[in-house]
Amino acid sequence: MNVNVTEVAPDIFRISFYEPGHPVNFGCFLIRDEQPAMVETSFRHTFNLVHDAVRRLVDPAKLRYLV
């Protein structure tokens, strides 16, 4: 799976990925702030991909909101 991290606005990131053989792009958003938030956490089988991408942006232990 290919994972892309794009800053779509200051401190707002889209983490997107696609699975080969599926015509759909999947994505979630991370808001980096004093109390970071994640909008859409994706599927269980993509946890490691999303976690690695989040870890590049913030300490996952500091996430305060999951929406």
Per-residue pLDDT of the chain in tens (67 residues, 90 and over written 9): 788 999 999 999 999 987 777 777 788 999 999 999 999 888 888 888 899 999 999 999 999 999 9
Q: Buried b / exposed e across 17-37, counting CB within 10 Å, b at 16+?
A: beeeeeeeebbbbbbeeeebe
pTM: 0.85
Number of domains comprising the chain: 1
Q: How far from 32 is each of 2, 10, 24, 60, CA to CA, in Å?
A: 22, 9, 26, 11
N- to C-terminal Cα distance for the chain? 24
How far, in Å, CA of 7 to CA of 21, rounded?
26
Range of the domain at 42: 2-66
